[in-house]
Amino acid sequence: MRLRLPLLALVGLSTSCTPLPALSQQIFSLSALQWTLRNANGSIAVPGALPSQAHLDLFRAGVIGDPLVGVNEYTQRWVVDDNWTYTADLAPFMHTRTQLEGADEKTLLVFYGIDTVANITFAGRPVAWVNNQFRRYVYDVSELLRSPGGDRNLTIALESAWHYGLNVSQRPDAKYFENARTDNYEYPGVRQWIRKISSDFGWDWGPAFVPSGIYKPAYLVTLSPSPPQPGTPAPPAPPPGSPPSSHSIFLDETSIDIYKRGQTPSAAPDQSADWIVNVTFGVRSAAAYPRPFASLAIPELGLASGSLALGAIPAGVGEATYVSAVWAVPDGAPQRWYPHDLGAPRLYNLSVALDPGGGSEGVRQTIAVGFRTIQLVQTPYPAEEAAARGITPGDQWHFAVNGRAFYSKGTNLIPFDPFYPRIRPEAVRWVLESAVRSGQNMLRVWGGGIYQPSDAATAGGLYDFYAACDELGILVWSELIFSDSLYPTNDFLLASVEPEVRENVRRINRHPSNAQWAGGNEIEGMAMSVGTWGDGRRFLDEFVHLFQDYLYGIVSSETKSVPYTDCSTTNGVLSLDPYVLRLGNGTSGHIYGNAERFNYQASQAFDYDSYPVARFVNEFGYHSMPSFYSWEEVLESPEDFAFNSRAVMSRDHHPPAGDLTWPNPNAAEGQYQMSSAVELWLPTPSTPDANHTFSQWCWSTQVFQAMAMASQIAWYRRGAGMGENNLGSLVWQLNDIWQGVSWSAIEYSGRWKVLQYALAGVYAPVIISAFWVPEMETLTVLATSDRWETVSGTAQLTWYDWRGNTLNSSTTSFAIPTLNNSLVFEGTGLDNILPSGYKAPDVWLLMNLTAKTGGRTVRNEQYFTPASLANATLVDPKIAVAIRDNYTFTLSAKGGVAAWAWLDHPFGTVGHFVDPATGAPTNGFYLIPGIDRTVQFIMNPALSAVRSPDPSSFVVRSLWNNKNVSPQTFSYVPSTRARPRRNSLWIWWLRLIHKFSAIILSFQT
């Protein structure tokens, strides 16, 4: 079928059909053009947009449905196999430039992101062929404008990245990588050959759409060597997000690197030394400027640099000229930037001016910066310190901010959406704020995704990331985009990688939140594992060349403020100067580098012997289902709402298919890993109501995930005071890329999973934790602190039975040294641990901690069950809920203890529950008869489609509901607008009946 819309429809349906502006100074946004998207044979022609991708424009035109709905990941694979071309008539731009035409005028075509392989044609003439999603491309098209070819169009012809990958991997100089040397997903064997988001080709937590398009803003920039004539009307302000420029100068980039005088990667910086502010401009100029200068200032501090001489700027726009200026700022002048849990993330507005001299117009910018040192400490422990502190011999591996070691608490971050142009800034902000609310101080930007943007305006970022982390006080572990594969070192690939890495390192330099650059994700272990196979030594040598020598050389030449390490999981280094990896060169019994843990044997989830004993654990996780509400966003028929339905299993990519077989033939294994964990550790969901059972299954996988991650975090945090001196734990993963099975703590919509609330508890500054070894029948309860000062407080341990009776209670005082633990309780033998006369399934332990730190009182509450909750003698909690103003709910257990009492906010809402007295996130707690819990729902209106939900649409559940659809009692307080509230589960069921009835009716009609 030939699908072509008439020209009038192309204009009418375009998302870029706003009135065309006059040229704003010399910057013209290509979003103002009318774009058409066509496939290779021309059978499809629809309105396009910029920035956009083919899937999004096809969806807007009604050619395909929402890619994330149903099984569209499979049905839309034909989009991947086609080549797509974006074309726009340049006439609107030509019209705006008639008054500026001149023989010496220069016009630049600027792209901030093309995904990924494309031929660019301008005014009928070829401009360039590109093949790197992560680069900025700037071209001089001045002569093409003066003598256009056969048309006046701008055309970007995109080649299928999948087919390009298949072709390039067959080049004579391309080396073959066996499957054992790379992790393969839906589109196998190509991602290491193309500089594109690796997870676009599939991953075990997300879809494989392999999108293509112009995914970031693009511009035409006109420069003139002569300043505007007197009397020339002042131009309007440039479009928002426009690149910095003047009448004659275009800035490719402005890099700001702030470090201590004399700072090197191999030694701790001198904390008393002056700060060095190193500013580098990438300049393209239509005129020559022999004596340009820069001036820098921090008005808030009353500091100004005066004129700082720069190197000469030649007349030329074909390549950027780089010029730098250095300014020394006294150490004590600015306050230091700290992560939010260790101090204030102090920022200053740095005024940056590039003055070409001779009275010509300069370029002025105001850029937020922070002053901090960040160090990745990898040197051996001094023998005296190791002996005094009981530290296991080996190397250190932790971060130090402003000269002080700290505990890194956080998660790993994946791309926010399969399609970059539709990432919502407010959704990103919500994820970052959620990380702060749960006590996290570090996020790792995973090396299989994308270089996250600085902010919405810089380099076409579209949303704030590093700038938001600067503001919020979150450190960012950044990675170059290499992941889970050995990589070729062919010259044609390295020629593209070098400018990619330089551009992104320079761009991110300004951000105090950036903590390090890692060369990639999980590659060192792969290289070491094949080093003994046949020609494996060649692969190991190539790994060392790429990650030890080549990438280290590039990064270290572009920044002095942040460290480099070869991979996310590494054995560390033999030497920092010169930079030499340790690989397998270690002493038995010593500890080096960092570690990760992925163990899907549910029986070992709480087995401490299976946890790594490491200085830092940068990945560990367990997958779970999204909530019933997320499934409602994408499932299309009533029969889909089942744990092992075809639609649900098609969205479980773990373990990955390894090819295009659909549904994933390995999904049953991933589903079993979740279901077996629930069956082993929680009551198995089984009720007469199929939808209720499915909802409880989804939620129960999240409860197990939260239990397993909290157990590991507590163990690793305990390690700060043990021989391993563990100073970091980063959970896999924070966010979701779609609605499906994943390791996330926050669902695609922004809804918090159970894990996210658990993180708020176990990442608190001071926590109480139980460590139970069933084989030895030993229980140890520790208070753990990540504070720099000694923390004193009290811990209360109270045993209950499941009816809510208090069996015994004790209170213990403690004092915790810096980054350490204090023993609260230790016992051996159930007879000595449990209340007299009780068995393990019949009791549980409530652990409460209160302490003073940083001038405030902190509290922590945790739970211990000596037997699996699957075997616990639970009692109907008979939960009653009183509804108060402002979405405040008071929960009361009128029967027994409600284990993991949980509130769900309604479909279409995004927000989180807090304790209204403290503002601390709270959900998923043990509700005890006689001890009511009041929580308030704080809505995020920017992300909520339903902004005034009926309080009766909130849902309350607990583990009791895994086998019982028991009624809860609800009432409104006050009664002025009250009506009896029906069982929330019943209301939820009515909503489903309505939804499904509508679906069935639509099918019938």
Sign of the four-CA dihedral 519, 522, 524, 530: negative
Kind and range of the H or E run holding 107: strand 106-111
Strand boundaries in 261-383, DSSP class E: 275-285, 293-298, 303-309, 316-329, 348-355, 363-369, 374-377
CA distance 589 to 549: 29
Task: Single out the residue of 574, 576, 594 nearest to residue 586, CA to CA.
Answer: 574
Provide the CA 742 distance to its chain's centre, in angstroms. Answer: 14
Helix axis angle, 754-762 relative to 690-718, nearest 10°? 20
For the record, the structure tokens of 855 come out as 């001038």
Chain centroid, CA 572 distance in Å? 24
Report the alpha-carbon distance of residue 371 to residue 347 in Å, rounded: 8
Cα 72-73-77 angle, rounded to 5 deg:
100
Q: How far is CA 124 from CA 101, 146, 220, in A?
A: 19, 12, 16
Q: Which residue has the tokens 């069956």?
A: 679
Active site annotation includes 522: yes
Closest CA to 218 of 57, 79, 93, 368: 93
The CA distance from 815 to 773, in Å, is 25
R_g (Cα) of the chain, nearest Å: 30
d(CA 105, CA 363): 19
Q: Find, among 914, 916, 900, the residue nearest to 957 by Cα.
A: 900
Tokens read off for 683: 């009551």
Nearest to 400 by CA among 382, 377, 381, 380: 377
Bridge pairing between strands 137-140 and 153-159: unpaired
d(CA 76, CA 64): 8
Nearest one of 931, 988, 981 to 957, comparing CA atoms: 988
C-alpha to C-alpha distances, 907 to 645, 735, 746, 749, 953, nearest whole angstrom: 22, 19, 15, 10, 9
Return d(Cα 470, Cα 450) in angstroms, integer. 19
Residues linked to residue 911 through DSSP beta bridges, in sequence order: 939
Q: How far apart are CA 887 and CA 948, in angstroms?
A: 10
User: Which position among 253, 503, 522, 558 bears the catalytic label?
Assistant: 522
- What one-character-per-residue DSSP string does 850-914 give? EEEETTEEEEEEEEE-SS-TTT-------EEEEEETTTEEEEEESSS-EEEEEEEPPTT--EEEE
Distance CA 542, CA 546 (A): 6
Secondary element (H or E) of residue 783: strand 778-785
Strand partners, 309: 293
Q: Nearest to residue 354, comparing CAs of 293, 286, 306, 298?
A: 293
Long-range contacts formed by 69-74: CB under 8 A, 24+ apart = 69/633, 69/634, 69/636, 70/634, 70/635, 70/636, 70/647, 71/647, 71/650, 73/207, 73/208, 73/209, 73/650, 73/651, 74/650, 74/662, 74/663
Q: Omega of the bond prior to 612 within 30 degrees of 0, cis?
A: no
Nearest to 488, CA basis, from 539, 522, 544? 539
Q: Please, are residues 924 and 700 in contact by the beta-carbon 8 Å criterion? A: no
User: What is the H or E stretch that residue 3 is in?
Assistant: strand 3-4
Enzyme catalytic residues:
522
